[in-house]
Amino acid sequence: VPDNPDAQYSFSFNYGIEAPLAFGEDLSIEYPYDITDMNDTFNSSAEDGSGDSGVQVHLTEASVNLTFVSEIPLSLAVSASPIDVDGNVITDGVDVSLTDVSGSPVTIGGGNTGNATTTPAVIRIKADIESLRKLDGFRLNLKGSCDGRFAGVALNKEQGIRLTDISVNIKGGISTQL
């Protein structure tokens, strides 16, 4: 230190905190996830149901088969609601149910990195033609809790839930002009 009393000194430092996110046994979380932009596929503003693509959908019932793949340490109960182009739940004219392949309500078991759980499920849709014109997609309502096996397990950015093996079976018909 110099003997100069008028000298000025400065210093700085940086610090960081790493706090892993983990869930406890008392956790209860609800999260809606919207699957949208299906309206153009199923209908249009034309009275006959044909859209810009020239596709006509005459749907009496449809089944969307999918598989939930989870690497997050939560057990999730999942239900589905039909939504319109404004994101509002459609309450009349469209019946939607989400079940596992045995017909029971869907529960996705907790998973972890490298140890994902897979849960096949089916979204069943029945709609009249007017309600089908409003349909834009589905709101998946996920309600999660953490059981003792995963309490305190830290999350990382690689963990999540994926939908795979998606296919649609339609009772009714689809027509197009080539």
**pLDDT tens digits, 15-72:** 888 878 888 888 899 999 999 988 776 654 444 444 455 666 677 788 999 999 999 9
Which tokens belong to 116?
A: 């994902």
Which residues, in sequence order, are bridge partners of residue 138?
35, 82
- Rounded Cα–Cα distance for residues 125 and 137 (Å): 11
pLDDT for the residue 42? 63
Question: Residue-wise over 35-45: b if at least 16 C-beta within 10 A, else e?
Answer: beebbebbbbe
pLDDT for the residue 49? 45
pLDDT for the residue 55? 64
pTM: 0.75
State pLDDT tens for residues 97-149: 999 989 999 999 998 888 999 999 999 999 887 888 888 999 999 999 988 88
Residue 61: CB atoms within 10 Å: 13
pLDDT for the residue 50? 45
